[in-house]
Amino acid sequence: MGLLAVCNAYTMRVCLNLAVTQMVNTTKHEDAHFDPDACPDDSEILTNGTVSLKPYAIFDWSESTQGLILSGFYYGYAITHVPGGYLAEKYGGKWTLGIGLLSTAIFTLMTPVVVKAGGATWLFILRVLQGMGEGPTMPALMIVLARWVPPHERSRQGALVFGGAQIGNIFGSFMSGFLMAGDGDWANVFYFFGCFGVLWFVAWSILCFSTPNTHPYISEEELNYLNETVTSADTKSVRDPVPWKAIVRSVPVWALLFAAVGHDWGYYTMVTDLPKYMTDVLKFNIATTGTLTAIPYLAMWISSFIFGWACDFCVKKNWHSIKTGRIIHTTIAATGPAICIILASYAGCDRFAAVAYFIASMALMGGFYSGMKVNALDLAPNYAGSLTAMINGTSTISGIITPYLIGLLTPDSTLVQWRVAFWVCFAVLVGTNVVYIIWADGKRQWWDDVRQYGYPADWKHGPLKMADEDKEKSKKAEAKDSGK
């Protein structure tokens, strides 16, 4: 159900990326601007020999307007990311996650009616609301997994659950292309994925619960096992407040934030704008675009498991440290895609080469999941949820900027204009990676709460001494307060 939750979140997030190519009438803009580098059109030929246009393309939006609409989701997503984590901690992950995704599903169902009634403005507002509904998804799922999954199973379960993101991208892209093929109405895309989200919520409400102790049908054997093996199975455990001041002053945290911004910039460029590049520049028809857009995500999903296994194997064999492993895989996942998207833009109208470079780009991006994506667990295992929420919420600014910026850089959606947009992406990916290489760390930071889970074996100075001094001060204060 967790995998399907993430899958749902991503299908509802990305379905507009493909649908907008069939919502907007681009004929007027194409007639007004001649592109000498334009690729041959792959329009669908109907049985009567005429070219199939876009029968439901009723909107006349510029590229910058489309970019602003596509970025609207991430405004809402950034707003509710941290509050969503807090609500999940306080009230449980079940309803925080469930109600959030249900609201997004309802807004997705409303999309065709809203956009026809209010145009671009109403659609932008609706996308912001959809983003607000999805903001708590990742923090709430992290908390649910922390309550239910024993430590020795978390890598496998986490890979399974969060792999739903790529499955959602694959399923969303393929089904969107299928539903709009021929003369299919783009509204069907929103109805399909909205209903899919509502059905998931019904199943989630019946089958899933926030903690083992609140599950009415759990066996006594499983409940005892989970309470013994899962530290946070009891949500009443007391812990220190999140050390926000120390987190903000931590250099490795800033390095991680830069890497996250770079990752999101490259990832959102691909997720949001690859369908437009396939349709507007390479001139694939919508059915082919849906299929070809799904393949890079499949490559990323498979490669993430390969990179993860390779990193764990090398660390286990002591071939390199955790820090070195994080830097190596983050570098592969940043510079590799940066180079590939530039090569794709210079491949011109060689469709096979361009698509191959895009697939290679996303496959190499799978290294992020064994690089900076899990670095928060290294730096602060006890505050990984809060740190992840802060990093993810802040780096979402990339999702806000990239669609609108690309819209500004590609007003006529020509190959040369897209090449400039890809060079900007290259600069961000490489620049943020350099920062991460210099200042990244793979060790637990001194400000992490070491009281609840004990001390790492390699801590002999510094933080350990400070923690012991804090304990002595606490004991003296307690003795003084009690009059002893």
Q: What angle do CA 287, 290, 294 make, to 5 degrees?
A: 145
pLDDT at 162: 78
Instruction: Give start and end residues of each alpha helix (H) in 154-186.
Output: 154-162, 164-180
3-state class of 450 per DSSP? coil
**Cβ neighbours for 226, distance < 8 A, ≥ 6 positions apart:** 148, 150, 212, 233
Give the dihedral sign, CA 206/208/209/210: negative
Type of residue at 436: Y
Contact status, residue 70 vs residue 377, Cβ threshold 8 Å: no
pLDDT at 154: 63
Tell me the per-residue pLDDT of 206-236, one tens digit each, with 9 for 90 and over: 999 988 888 998 998 988 888 887 765 444 4
pLDDT at 55: 66
The CATH code that applies to domain 1-29+57-211 is 1.20.1250.20
In angstroms, the CA 345 to CA 348 distance is 6
**Cβ neighbours for 483, distance < 8 A, ≥ 6 positions apart:** none
Q: Where are the domains of the chain?
A: 1-29+57-211, 242-449
Work out the pLDDT band at 476, boundaries 50, 70, 90. Answer: low
pLDDT at 155: 58
Give the dihedral sign, CA 42/43/44/49: negative
Work out the pLDDT band at 51, boundaries 50, 70, 90. Answer: very low
3-state class of 59 per DSSP? strand
**Cβ neighbours for 482, distance < 8 A, ≥ 6 positions apart:** none
Whether 252 has a pLDDT exceeding 50, the answer reads yes
Closest to 256 (Cα-Cα) out of 374, 158, 156: 374
Whether 453 has a pLDDT exceeding 80, the answer reads no
Closest to 144 (Cα-Cα) out of 193, 87, 192: 87
pLDDT at 451: 52
pLDDT at 84: 84
pLDDT at 189: 92
Work out the pLDDT band at 153, boundaries 50, 70, 90. Answer: low
What integer best gives the mean pLDDT of the chain? 80
In angstroms, the CA 76 to CA 136 distance is 11
Q: Is it true that 1-29+57-211 and 242-449 share their CATH fold?
A: yes
pLDDT at 109: 95
Using CA atoms, how far residue 208 sits from 148, 198, 203, 217, 231, in Å, is 11, 15, 8, 10, 20
Closest to 456 (Cα-Cα) out of 472, 447, 468, 444: 444
Helix %, strand %, coil % of the chain (to 5): 75, 0, 25
Contact status, residue 141 vs residue 5, Cβ threshold 8 Å: yes
Give the dihedral sign, CA 84/87/88/92: negative
pLDDT at 457: 46
pLDDT at 360: 93
Its pTM stands at 0.74
CATH 2.60.40.10 matches 242-449: no
Please, which residues bridge with residue 45 across strands?
51
The CA R_g of the chain, rounded to the nearest whole Å, is: 24
Backbone angles phi, psi at 51, to 5 degrees: -85, 135
